A and B are shown apart, each in its own frame.
Chain A
């Protein structure tokens, strides 16, 4: 097990470098210049532009810039400074990430609980009316794009009915985050439900289930312990990798509901060509993704005794 973890961690290094470099190069290739952008339509001062470009190292070759940037992160946990505001990027990240993390966690809970419940109900009643209704509901959730769903739910539940807050003014208030979290969770919720349904339906016919029932165990115990434990393995895999996806995919939801999180910061950084901020954000998202996929693989071993990592 220890050796497996060590190997996985080693494998992460090239992936981490590759992903961040890719993003760095993509941002570098964008037309426009963050320093020139500060001046908008108005007159520029060449000497000030030169001085600013030098301060942020933008006059160096791109690979040197990348190297300096990574060196700063790894050695000093220094993500550089934002060009427009001159504030440290770590501060910007420190503002954005907790907000998005709260939103993503709430969405995660919603998706896991409702998704699994729907999926298990559908799986146990495979082929019956409940199964069909749930199937249709989940397909619908997957098909309606997030931005359409966001507008619909906002209009119906917040503006017309007044049950929930239409937008977020205090990102620490979970009541306000509820609606955006539901929107963000919707598509994942549907996948969780589909996945658990398939898995439960398959396992219902498995030999060990027949054995358990034949032993005369009460139905509740059979379903609650034997069936669920085995059926939820693929669901856990999905959920694990989804947390990162929820955080990186909240751009649209955050926009609709006025949330100052990672999504808005990403959009701003792209339009302002704030390369360091953007790559800093991605660096964290990539780390979250890598750690999550490692944890999922390890969980797999815990849940499924047949899998052993040497």
Chain B
């Protein structure tokens, strides 16, 4: 099962935002599996126009990454429980979590017939890490030794290759990190670590319009704002060959239109049903409706740099958390598109533990009031929650505010920024007035992605200025664990500590609410909520 999507942020048009993305493993029962299957049948999937050229290290948002996933295969992937599956790699071995020896499966070819070698990886990574090539995901290489020489924070680069990457032979290379990371192998599942063919470097821009990869599908055509077509690559040697003849990624500006087309048979697979159709899609589609959680979580983050929250007693935040009636809100305003969270780590991630947050995610107005009082009250007795108006967040922000005010008497308003850009801008500049909505879709299905990358004092995802020496120490301890299992266990302990600090208020996990047509079967969704296109079977 393909998985691990990553840095999929959900932003631009409301369509993308509403159609968030998705997730997790599980999978519905793909309908009537007895129907005759056409192994060469093609089917269509709803997407938006990819925002960037189709270059693996340059694709961050969900519309592009679903196409990249079809065209490229990396070293590893994950299954629905977050376990590693080898794809192009035969083995990845390490003794100290610092130096990794990668052996490739021999005989793999790119779609243009050239072989996939160790150099296809090393050269691609060096190319993408180089700031001159302006790849938006280049920060992913920062763990590798010598990255700072290629992309120094300031000044001129000293080198254009990372010293941590060494080609041993055609099918073997080593990766040396600047310091040990027990779960580094998880990061390797992200598309940024995909290989590139020699032809790519001649004209990267053209390659972004007409990508040549090593994945289960080869590129056919891209008609901008209309469709992208890919066809099964018969030379594919990975564990997940396409069970269909090809995919047409159809571009829709509106999910409502896509839904009409799905019902009338003009579209086969949707990624997310629009809010307008949510109340009726289960009746409309019956067995073909999909409703399952994926590895993403929504929280209310705290701007700890403001006067209001500086040196706050965490009891106040615990109280606010207990004033939110998650059950009612997810069932009504959110129309069942979310599932109440019981911790900070999303489902489908290795290390997820139920009820990690204990009581603080339970709705209890009396206890909420008491905790706030014990903690000295909310400074000013007034809070606001910043959100972007183009992301479909207004409804739940208002409902959360309503719940808090009703339970505790604390005044609460939504602080609406016109769009995602304005929202990010205010967060970057530390101009959030009180609280802000925050969403996190997994980058890789390991618990550290939801703890270290959000609550470490210096983590990129830590935009609220949360800082705790104790938590930092615990994270450092988990990071220096000898094995993956040990690291997982230590991170789980960190999560259990978080209620004492309340770096954010967990709200709910995202769900995929989607559907597919009568023409296809065996449609499943991965941890990032995207349909797993290789597994889809087309009926005759």
A joins B in a complex: yes
- CB-defined contacts of B420 to chain A, threshold 8 Å: 37, 40, 271
Given contacts A86-B205, A260-B225, contact A40 B13 (CB under 8 A): no
Contact in complex: B253, A258 (CB < 8 Å): yes
Contact in complex: B13, A271 (CB < 8 Å): yes
* Nearest-CB residue, chain A, relative to B13: A268
Contact in complex: B253, A31 (CB < 8 Å): no
The listed residue (A39, A41, A264, A271) touching B419 by CB distance below 8 A is: A271
Q: Does A102 contact B (CB under 8 A)?
A: no
Contact in complex: B425, A258 (CB < 8 Å): no
- CB-defined contacts of A36 to chain B, threshold 8 Å: 424-425, 428
Q: Does B224 contact A (CB under 8 A)?
A: yes
* Nearest-CB residue, chain A, relative to B54: A85
Contact in complex: B51, A85 (CB < 8 Å): yes
- CB-defined contacts of A166 to chain B, threshold 8 Å: 257, 260
Within 8 A of A (CB), among B1-28: 7, 9-13
Per-residue interface assignment for chain A, residues 68 to 97, with 1 indicating a CB less than 8 Å from any chain B CB and 0 otherwise: 000000000000000011110001000100
Within 8 A of B (CB), among A266-299: 267-268, 270-273
- C-alpha spacing A298/B409, complex, angstroms: 67
Given contacts A36-B428, A273-B421, contact A41 B252 (CB under 8 A): no
Q: Does A209 contact B (CB under 8 A)?
A: no
Within 8 A of B (CB), among A166-184: 166-167, 169
Contact in complex: A51, B131 (CB < 8 Å): yes
Pick 14 A–B contacts, CB within 8 A, sort by A: A31-B422, A32-B421, A32-B425, A33-B421, A37-B421, A37-B424, A39-B9, A39-B136, A40-B7, A41-B424, A169-B261, A254-B253, A258-B257, A271-B13
Contact in complex: A271, B132 (CB < 8 Å): no
The winner among A30, A36, A39, A166 for most chain B CB atoms within 10 A is A39
Q: Does B101 contact A (CB under 8 A)?
A: no
Contact in complex: A50, B424 (CB < 8 Å): no
Given contacts A41-B461, A48-B135, A85-B51, contact A33 B425 (CB under 8 A): yes
Contact in complex: B460, A43 (CB < 8 Å): yes
* Nearest-CB residue, chain B, relative to A46: B153
Given contacts A38-B60, A42-B9, A258-B252, contact A167 B257 (CB under 8 A): yes
* Nearest-CB residue, chain A, relative to B438: A41
The listed residue (A48, A84, A95, A270) touching B225 by CB distance below 8 A is: A95
Contact in complex: A42, B461 (CB < 8 Å): yes
- CB-defined contacts of A160 to chain B, threshold 8 Å: none
Contact in complex: B425, A272 (CB < 8 Å): no
Q: Does B416 contact A (CB under 8 A)?
A: no
Per-residue interface assignment for chain B, residues 224 to 239, with 1 indicating a CB less than 8 Å from any chain A CB and 0 otherwise: 1110000000000000
Contact in complex: A271, B390 (CB < 8 Å): yes
Contact in complex: A47, B151 (CB < 8 Å): yes
A144 smallest CB distance to B (angstroms): 20
B150 smallest CB distance to A (angstroms): 9
Q: Does A207 contact B (CB under 8 A)?
A: no
Contact in complex: B131, A45 (CB < 8 Å): yes
Within 8 A of B (CB), among A15-61: 30-34, 36-48, 50-52, 55
- C-alpha spacing A268/B11, complex, angstroms: 11
| Seed contacts A36-B428, A41-B11, A258-B253; 17 additional CB < 8 Å A-B pairs | A30-B422, A31-B421, A31-B422, A38-B136, A39-B136, A40-B9, A40-B61, A41-B9, A44-B139, A46-B154, A50-B131, A166-B260, A167-B260, A169-B261, A258-B252, A259-B253, A270-B419
- CB-defined contacts of B60 to chain A, threshold 8 Å: 38-40, 42
B370 smallest CB distance to A (angstroms): 34
Q: Does A249 contact B (CB under 8 A)?
A: no
* Nearest-CB residue, chain B, relative to A50: B131
B307 smallest CB distance to A (angstroms): 22
- Seen from chain B, the residues whose Cβ lies within 8 Å of a Cβ on chain A are 7, 9-13, 50-53, 60-61, 131-132, 134-136, 138-139, 151-154, 205, 208, 224-226, 251-254, 256-257, 260-261, 266, 390, 419-422, 424-426, 428, 438-440, 443, 460-461
The listed residue (B51, B132, B261) touching A51 by CB distance below 8 A is: B132
* Nearest-CB residue, chain A, relative to B50: A85
A204 smallest CB distance to B (angstroms): 48
Contact in complex: B424, A169 (CB < 8 Å): no
- CB-defined contacts of A84 to chain B, threshold 8 Å: 51-52
A300 smallest CB distance to B (angstroms): 39
- C-alpha spacing A52/B53, complex, angstroms: 14
- C-alpha spacing A167/B440, complex, angstroms: 33
The winner among B443, B460, B461 for most chain A CB atoms within 10 A is B460
Contact in complex: B421, A169 (CB < 8 Å): no
- CB-defined contacts of A51 to chain B, threshold 8 Å: 131-132, 134
A39 smallest CB distance to B (angstroms): 6
Contact in complex: A45, B151 (CB < 8 Å): yes
* Nearest-CB residue, chain A, relative to B264: A166
- CB-defined contacts of B424 to chain A, threshold 8 Å: 32, 36-37, 40-41
A267 smallest CB distance to B (angstroms): 7
- C-alpha spacing A288/B439, complex, angstroms: 43
- C-alpha spacing A259/B260, complex, angstroms: 15
- C-alpha spacing A242/B428, complex, angstroms: 43
- CB-defined contacts of A86 to chain B, threshold 8 Å: 52-53, 205, 208
B417 smallest CB distance to A (angstroms): 8
A40 smallest CB distance to B (angstroms): 3
* Nearest-CB residue, chain A, relative to B250: A169
- C-alpha spacing A49/B80, complex, angstroms: 35
Question: What are the nearest 7 A-B pairs in CB distance?
Answer: A40-B9, A32-B421, A43-B460, A47-B131, A258-B257, A167-B257, A42-B7
Contact in complex: A32, B261 (CB < 8 Å): no
- C-alpha spacing A202/B460, complex, angstroms: 71
Q: Does A234 contact B (CB under 8 A)?
A: no
- CB-defined contacts of B135 to chain A, threshold 8 Å: 48
- C-alpha spacing A85/B261, complex, angstroms: 28
